[in-house]
Amino acid sequence: MLTPVARTVLALGVTQIVGYGTLYYAFAVLAEQLVAEVGVSMPFAFGAFSLALLAGGAVAPLAGRAIDRHGAGPVMALGSVGAALALAALSQSTGAVTLVAALVLVEMVSALVLYDAAFAALAQTAGAAGARRAITLMTLIGGFASTVFWPVTHALGEGLGWRETYLVFAGLHLFVCLPLHLTLRRQLTGDGTTATAPATEALLAPERQGKAMLWLAVGFSLAGVVFSALTVQWVLVLQATGLSATAAVAAGALLGPAQVGVRVIDLLFGVRRHPMTMALLSVGLLVLSLGLLIVMPTGLAGAMIFAVVFGLASGLTSIVRGVAPLALFGAEGYAARLGVLAGLRLASSALAPFALSVALVSLGAGLTIGVAFGVALAAMLALTLVPRR
């Protein structure tokens, strides 16, 4: 018999696979078909997607406060209905205006159902003490979103067309995610207290929490800029270093296994470490990956090493952005803090892929990667300034 926490982890793992697969990854797969029929250019479409990410960042703090007040279950259930409506609206786009409006709606409702909302749901189910392990397990399952939905989206797009594919995805939110989100409840922790109440006192005194929140936001936002830029423009960056597109794709295939692998390692060993130690490790791996890309000879072997180290950093940061605020500030107001951090991270990262593509043309690959290395180093420095107990 599964415990309430285990049931919540499994339920949210499924909804995160569907959520990221349909609300985030699918657009890049279906973009070519979409722009040809709607009548916009590819740069316009991805510019609209960046604008939508900014809108999602603006909604994230509001979503966090709603989750703290009403619980994650009702908010995520509402988000499932909103996601279905938004994807249905996107499937009916006929021009630039309707496309932009639908994408903005998609990313706004994403704030109600993706990782940050799920982290809060786990804290409310497992309590502050048990949330760390639950978050790691949930991200381990959710990490398969791209593995599942890239090929599924491609197959559906080829077989049905992009409009029908988005309608199928809308159905997944109504008939898979909505029932699962409706099962979420604020459970009792092992000591009999409600999971919404702090299981432990906040590690930081109130007068130190403002400084911690500031440097945590700076560190996560700067790292998010680099992660966003390199993930979206992966092939372009490696091609600019002299690699072929085929080799870049082959190296990129290692990202997923590395992300999942580091979550397994964190589950086995990382839960014994302070979350800020793991946060520094995640950004340190990002710095190391870029340093290797700068100094290693161009070739498939070097690109594969870069992909593995970058994937380790990416997989770990998904966990620490959920557990570090809980460890520093406690469970009270946890979702609201996650919302603020997510909003700032999304706002700073939305234009990063576009900025990187411009930099590659104007500065060249070497200098552009050097700038990214500097930004990652600044992120690591910011996280070292976060006070602990």
- Mean of the pLDDT values across residues 222-243? 86
Instruction: Please determine whether the domains at 4-182 and 206-384 fall in the same fold group of CATH.
Output: yes
Above 80 in pLDDT, residue 389?
no
- pLDDT for position 201: 45
Return mean pLDDT, the chain.
87
- Under the banding of pLDDT at 50, 70 and 90, the label for residue 193 is very low
pLDDT in tens, 272-285: 788 899 999 999 99
Residue 209 in contact with residue 202, Cβ under 8 Å? yes
pLDDT mean over 110-125? 92
With contact defined as beta carbons under 8 Å apart, do 217 and 341 qualify?
Answer: yes
Give the mean pLDDT of 338-354: 86
**What percentage of the chain carries pLDDT values higher than 70?**
95
**Residue 256 has what pLDDT?**
79
How high is the pLDDT of residue 189?
42
Looking at residue 186, its pLDDT comes to 61
Give the residue carrying structure tokens 């499924």: 14
Residues 6+ away with beta carbon under 8 Å from 35: 41, 42, 44, 45
Architecture of the CATH domain 206-384 = Up-down Bundle (1.20)
Assess whether pLDDT exceeds 70 at residue 96: yes
Mean per-residue pLDDT, 244-252: 83
pLDDT digits (tens, 9 = 90+) for 152-188: 988 999 999 999 999 999 999 999 999 999 998 765 4
Domain 4-182 coded CATH 1.20.1250.20 = yes
DSSP 246-285: HHHHHHHTTHHHHHHHHHHHHHHTGGGS-HHHHHHHHHHH
Share of the chain above pLDDT 90, in %: 47
Domain assignments of the chain as residue spans, ordered by start: 4-182, 206-384
